[in-house]
Structure 1
């Protein structure tokens, strides 16, 4: 039997056991509550640590309040909200970075996170579904594509090897302008045609257009490239509201596909012609016909035939790369030639110093050679100052972080569109004295610690970006730009048409262009007519 004392002990033990269970339950509930609170707090903080920015309307966000010149608008918003701010535009979250310090974080310290793209619909179409080097994400395909482009086309050796094309085409243009002495010349147009001939010679061994007198061919091609660049940079409702994309309310998808069809036809004819030539002749014979050198098309077709995952390219990928090189090598170069000449015509004393230097280095009884370019310090400084005031890509190309990260103490959400406002950085009084003034002297006589180049190492000066997505065509573009400008400025004196106002306003797009074309009148400067032949 159980004694009364045992009963007493057990009865006294139950309350003790019950208390232990309650304490354990309470402890578990407390831990759970703390965990949930911390999780909620972290989520709340992540949201609250998003960059500041203006409020918008439901659904459309800030879209109705944006004006066309986004680089100006973003600069004004940065002055109000700071060097990193956010905008909601429909279904998109935009992050805008407007300071040198934070640009360094995005472009160098976290370059791997920000190396992907989120192209607009027009960009995806014109790049054959993002199979090019501009809009492809940072993956093995893109890395291989860039490697081939840099090693086979844009290496220092190959850029130097293409000198014959630059010299030949620049001389053609000088001869053409000589025939226009006393008449009005469209600066951007002659720069475009010259760049186009150089680039197509490099790509497939022959010039697509032979001279400026072939007006219909030249102007049609110029119009297509200009339209493509404009369409890619145009605001498209389908990009902000994907549900509307099938409606194509602004006709951008339709127009882009039409321009692509035109360019694709040209590329198809060139590529098919080369393939047919291979079928009738040996590759060695083709190389001999091309002055003993392989052009880029032949190199890519050889990669195509290798049939290996690491290096092979299909025809569509070849055309996508052609699109990058043709549009980038012509539109950007001709735009910067026009801006530089516009600034020199606005500053005649600076133009005289540049021409005096050319006279000293080259001589009025001689023509410009590429060997002269390294000695043209004034022209180099003028070009850099022009790039500072008129960066060709004012917002660079949109970057899209592959994961959420921190920039300037704020959370940058994964998948957002990140813009670097280079135009704003280039005009920031924190980095530049009298930033709105054209003063090429700021790029003269610099020591090694303050030297500015185009490689993106100085984050106060980023005309072509920085990091792994920096423009790979810089070596070729630099040579073309400097040599062509030197040839025009050494061969001719230039004046504005009488009675016409000279203006420097810009038209925003993916490429920042002069709103009105620059028209100038040339006159002979060299000692002999033979130097123009």
Structure 2
């Protein structure tokens, strides 16, 4: 069907070309008298723009990256359907878009995946600029993820950090050798981060019974898989997002997959949320325990519920979308560090100096763990979780960097392009945490980059509102296992394979590494299981 539709499109294009006698051009082909011009880019076809080239040269990001390198530009315009998609790999231009013209580029596009994942744009991160976004943003930053709220939830996070270490320790002891074992690091990381989010939202570790070893059960594995699958579609270049009249055909099958994924998430989330709402409504629950209780009990000026049931369900799902950065980045960081043992040793030495060997890392240690933070930040730079950030949409015509940016344009900051830009970073393909220190080695390392030389948690009005949670979660995820275990390449391998998945940026194979406890056995917490 897709081939047939493409053939029909091509026929239409030929008729348009014969009638007009020439192609419609973009900035590179614009008249010399037009000022200012669109950013450079390939000449688009009528109606479909460059969609045919995009899908003929998969994966999309490689084609886009190749075009920009060929044009020797850090900003380019790709017309997809009727939408001007502006890709930015320059920190100066990125700051111009998000700092100097922040108000113009603070909206989000309407896409199939974000519409379904947000239950019709009821949540915060993907909602277009407007009253609903303002309401949810204010709720999130004023009531949900605040310093006082994070302190309130600290014990839940601490318990999961302990369980995380215990899970790996138990895996080590399962081996017939008392000298350690090969650990599936991806499973441990995703289980840890997912459990933290479940605990602070639902006060639960498991949707089902959980694994017998304290690890994820089949429900947790299904849930994590679906969250990552949904994220994939949210960052995809969907044909129907640029040619909306094709959405009814679902020619790529994306909408069918997204609807199925949402049914699975709703299966796990909705019964918990609906039961909790009933408990509060019937007066059987009177004290807040977690973020779900907070959202249910918030009131507006008239003392009515601030959030509807659908808004609560949408926001609960969206919080889980934040698990990709800590898990993927820390997995990459540890893989790189195992291949360079001297980097791993520097992190161990810092932890031993700051924390010692008599206790495990706590969140209050994070500000002092600059080298560990530099390792996480370097993974964000070199191995971003996605090629581009979520699109920013221009709400008016604008001039940025001397280029004309039409109203309705989608602005994609290149996480991959910025982090690997050789004009910004020396030896950009080398994993080198030291690059994030200033000349003064005592300077404080932060995971965000205000200069937008790389993207971690975004910037401007649409910056990630969960940075206050994401930073300690990421650093604890790496710091705890570096402190508690000695890591090395499994004996069957010469080094960790750092290949990326086809069409993606995560490790092609889940990280399996040899772990050996490095602390006295009394230092390892007992797994808190069964809830």
Fold in common (TM above 0.5): yes
Q: Is the 8 A contact 2:60 2:237 kept in 1?
A: no
What is the RMSD computed on CA atoms of the aligned residues?
A: 2.7
* Structure 1 residue corresponding to 2:123, chosen from 113, 126, 132: 132
Q: Which deviations, in whole Å up to 9, do the C-alpha atoms of 1:159-190 show, x marking residues without a partner?
A: 23322122111211211111211333221221
| 2:116 pairs with 1:99 | no
* Structure 1 residue corresponding to 2:146, chosen from 138, 155, 163: 155
Whichever structure has more helix as a proportion of its residues is 1
Q: CA deviation at 1:138?
A: 1.7
* Structure 1 residue corresponding to 2:201, chosen from 203, 223, 236: 203
Q: Decide which moves more: 335-344 or 360-369.
A: 360-369
Other structure's SS at 2:392 match: coil
In structure 2, relative to structure 1, the CA distance for the partners of 1:177 and 1:448 (3 Å cut) is closer
| 2:53 pairs with 1:51 | no
| 2:378 pairs with 1:394 | no
Structure 2 counterpart of 1:114 = 105
Q: CA deviation at 1:394?
A: 3.2
TM-score normalised over the length of structure 2? 0.84
Structure 2 counterpart of 1:303 = 298
CA distance in 2, matches of 1:433, 1:456: 17
Structure 2 counterpart of 1:253 = 255
Q: CA deviation at 1:54?
A: 1.3
Q: CA deviation at 1:106?
A: 0.6
| 2:369 pairs with 1:376 | yes
Q: Decide which moves more: 391-400 or 447-456.
A: 447-456
Runs (5+) with no aligned partner, structure 2: 1-29, 173-179, 527-531
CA distance in 1, matches of 2:102, 2:282: 48
Q: CA deviation at 1:448?
A: 11
Q: Which deviations, in whole Å up to 9, do the C-alpha atoms of 1:40-81 show, x marking residues without a partner?
A: xx9995587122211244544323333445444433333333
| 2:46 pairs with 1:62 | no
* Structure 2 residue corresponding to 1:183, chosen from 166, 181, 184: 181
* Structure 2 residue corresponding to 1:505, chosen from 477, 480, 499: 499
Q: Which deviations, in whole Å up to 9, do the C-alpha atoms of 1:397-456 show, x marking residues without a partner?
A: 101101111112111111121111132122223222222221111123555999763455
Q: Is the 8 A contact 1:86 1:95 kept in 2?
A: yes
Q: CA deviation at 1:521?
A: 2.0
TM-score normalised over the length of structure 1? 0.83
CA distance in 2, matches of 1:304, 1:185: 46
Structure 1 counterpart of 2:476 = 483
Q: Which deviations, in whole Å up to 9, do the C-alpha atoms of 1:235-277 show, x marking residues without a partner?
A: 3222232221101112211111111112123222112111222
In structure 2, relative to structure 1, the CA distance for the partners of 1:305 and 1:381 (3 Å cut) is closer
| 2:311 pairs with 1:317 | yes
CA distance in 1, matches of 2:444, 2:100: 21
**What does 1:239-250 align with in structure 2 at a 5 Å threshold?**
239-250=241-252
Runs (5+) with no aligned partner, structure 1: 1-41, 288-292
CA distance in 1, matches of 2:79, 2:67: 13
Other structure's SS at 2:296 match: helix
Structure 1 counterpart of 2:334 = 341
Structure 2 counterpart of 1:231 = 233
CA distance in 1, matches of 2:202, 2:95: 38
Other structure's SS at 2:201 match: helix
CA distance in 1, matches of 2:348, 2:448: 27
* Structure 2 residue corresponding to 1:194, chosen from 192, 195, 210: 192
Other structure's SS at 2:103 match: coil
| 2:396 pairs with 1:403 | yes
Other structure's SS at 1:515 match: coil
Other structure's SS at 2:76 match: strand
Q: Is the 8 A contact 1:199 1:325 kept in 2?
A: yes
Other structure's SS at 2:160 match: helix
When Rg is computed on C-alpha atoms for both structures, the one with the higher figure is 1
Q: Decide which moves more: 171-180 or 361-370.
A: 361-370
